[in-house]
Each structure stands twice: as C-alpha cells, then as structure tokens.
Amino acid sequence: MTRKKNLIGQTFGLWTVIGEDEPKRNKDGKIINASWKCQCVCGTIRTKTTRQLKVNPVRGCGCFHGFKNPPKHIPKSTIVDEAPWMLPLFVDKEYPLTHSLHSNKKTLVKCPTCGIIKEMSADTLYQRGHVTCGICTDGISLPNKIMRYILIHLDNIDDLKFEYYPKWAERKAYDNYFKYNDKEYIVEMDGGFHYLKNRFNGGRPLEETLKSDKIKDKLAQKHDIELIRIDCKESNFEYIKTNIIQSKLNEIFDLSVIDWAECAKFSSESIVIKVWNYYKEHSNENPTLLDIGNVFNLSTNTVMRYLKRGNDCGYLFYKNYSKNRPKKEKKPIKNNSNTLHTNSIKVIVYDPFMNIIGEYKSLNYAVIEINKIYNLDFNVQGIYSARNRYKGNNMVKYKKYYFKFMGEET
C-alpha cells in the first residue's frame, strides 16, 4: 500500500489545502482517494480529492466566472506564490493570481508613494523592484540603495563617492568609490542586465554590457583600485544581502554591525520623498540647495530637480529663485583648431532604444525635423557642446537620444 502524500499548505491553481478531510470510499468501504479541505482565493472552503486538485485546479469555486479577463491557463507558480510584496502595487487584483512572476503582459500598477497609475509588466516590476512613476522615483536602483546605506554606516571610510566618474575612466561610471586604510576600492552592483539577455538596460545588448565591464575592470586595475562586483541579478533584498555578505566586502569590513532591518527600510524609500519632506520640515530655515545636498550626498542640480518635481506635482511649494535672475549672455564659440564643427556633417539619429529615427545631411537639419515631427526641444548648441566633450567619439548622447556623426567636415 502506497503512503499518502501530505498536501497541507500546498497550492493548486486557486485552491490552497488547509486541512485533511474524510477520504472518499467505494461501496465496499475501501479508500479510493484522499480528500482535503481547500480554500479558494475568494475565501470559499470546500472539500476536494487529490485527483480533483491535480487534474483541473484552475476553476476554483466558480468565482472565476466573475473575472473580467478569465485566463485559459494558470501557471503552476504565480506572483502570489513568488513575490507577495508586489501584490499591493497592482490595480487589477486578478492579475497576480493568474500570471507568473516573469509575465510580459502589461497591467496597471500604482505607485505607493505618490499614487500615480501607469502600465508595467510583472517582469519589469520585479526586475526594477519598484514602480517607476517618473514623479517620486529617484532613479537609484535597489542594489545601489542597499550599498549606499552600508557604506554610509561603516567607520573609517574616506572620500566616499556615488556615481563615480574619474577622468581616467573614458567617460564610464562606477557605482560606488571609497578609500579605506590608504587603499582605493570600487563596488559595482551588477543587475540582471549583466547576466541575462533581454533585461532592462535601455536596449543595450548583453555582449556590449559585458565588454564594457571588462574595460572598467582593466581601467580600475591599471590605477591600482580594487574592484568588487556584487551579483544583483535578482531585485530582491534577501538575495542581494546574501551576496554582499558572501563577497570580499565582508572580508574588508565587519558587516555584522549593519542593521539590516533599517537597511531594508532605507532601500525601499524614495530619496526624492526624503528630500521633499526635509525641505518642508526646514522651510522656515530657508535651506540652500548645498545644505540639502550635503545631508543626502546629492549634487545641487539633483536637489533642484527633485524640488521642482515636487512643486510640479503639488507636494510642496518651491520657489525657483534662478528664474528671477538676469540671464547671462552666452559667449560665442571660438572657431579654433580644437573645436569640432558638426553642422556640415552627415548625422544619424537614434532613439533611447537605439532604433534609427532618421539620417540627415546636417545637425541643423536633423534638429529642425525631429523637433517638428516628435514635438521635442532639441538644441543645436546643446548637442554641439556634447560633441566637444566627447572628442574622438562619433556617437554623442543628448537627452537620452544618440547622434552619430558620419565622416569628417566637408
């Protein structure tokens, strides 16, 4: 006689087994199938046999007929099972019951901070770890928030920098930089796009990302800087915490001093909201942008951008004093030998996902056409300045778009 398998606590479609019931018997009183008390997602409790649970668990108690978009199939593992922290973010409460964690089907999600509703897929939401609403989102990933908290709360760290752009790095950025015991360190938090194809990285191919990582590793080694990479391919606090503890960082510092509960709280909060609240609480003291920047380790431009965003959405009142100041006249650009002229060079324009928008005979013509067709506010002077900053590189990034200059000046 085979031993009966205990199904209590397991989930089958919409049913969760909560207890054992009287088994089903034939006319002779012989047990032919085990029975279980099961609870549907709507709360209804019924008795189901093992066979009923395994053959067709999707139907539930019949509450499915009230769903707006009843699915033809429910995956074995849904969002409810794998990532319950995501449930409050979904406007459509049926979606997490019927879709897997890596579903690409978009649905409405709500930002828990500012209440903005937008469309996102479950896979994108899971990879980013938050709703990117564009209002209160600070643009800092979950892995970098965790690492920033750790580095801020460790002793004897000098010259701490986030988003580190050294001159020797060929315009490449490093996530975190610091000095400890007269030695320089860089900590890179490698998200999913460093390991998996089709992960969010502005349309950049995985091969190109890995190539860039190798260049950054060599440059850091060349300048005698120890580079530590942390595996953050899963946007999950416990996963990232485990990999940090298992990394070389734990050999350099005693990470047992870190309050991980506070770290989790810090990493789940938006720095934008913190800046807004700080400004509101200290508005009587008239804090300067530099004062606020020193509190949160942010540049004055970033602080101003956050405050303007809070003013635009009505969260706070921020007076932009720079508007009342007289504008300085721009000095004409000198046409010396070091200046790169771009107005007579053929230009190819790409969108943020590296799709070609068009090919134009000159930069002036490209800006006029793109502004007219796509209702943008591109400025020739701004692209011209970017071109001068990126000397030796025929691909220039401007406002998330890319301009490729073909050939030399005619």
Q: What is the pLDDT of residues 127-158, one digit of tens each?
A: 777 777 666 677 777 888 889 889 988 888 88
Share of residues in the chain with pLDDT > 90 (%): 9
| pLDDT band per the 50, 70, 90 thresholds, residue 185 | very high
CA–CA separation, 262 vs 284, rounded Å?
Answer: 29
Please tell me the CATH code under which domain 142-256 is placed.
3.40.1350
Instruction: Name the burial class of residue 220, with classes exposed (0-12), middle (13-18) and buried (19+) by CB atoms within 10 angstroms of its CB.
Output: buried
| pLDDT band per the 50, 70, 90 thresholds, residue 392 | low
Per domain, the residue ranges of the chain are 11-66, 79-128, 142-256, 271-324, 346-406
What Rg, from alpha-carbon coordinates, does the chain have? 28
* pLDDT in the model for residue 96: 83
CB-based contacts of 316, cutoff 8 Å, min separation 6: 276, 279, 280, 307, 310
* pLDDT in the model for residue 367: 85
- CATH class name, domain 271-324: mainly alpha
Average pLDDT for 93-121: 82
pLDDT in tens, 210-239: 888 888 999 999 999 999 999 888 777 888
* pLDDT in the model for residue 179: 92
CB-based contacts of 185, cutoff 8 Å, min separation 6: 177, 178, 179, 225, 226, 227, 228, 252
* pLDDT in the model for residue 229: 92
Q: CB neighbours (10 Å) of residue 75?
A: 16
> pTM for this one?
0.49
Q: Between these two residues, 44 and 3, which has the higher pLDDT value?
A: 44
Q: Report the relative pairing of strands 183-190 and 226-231 from DSSP bridges.
A: parallel
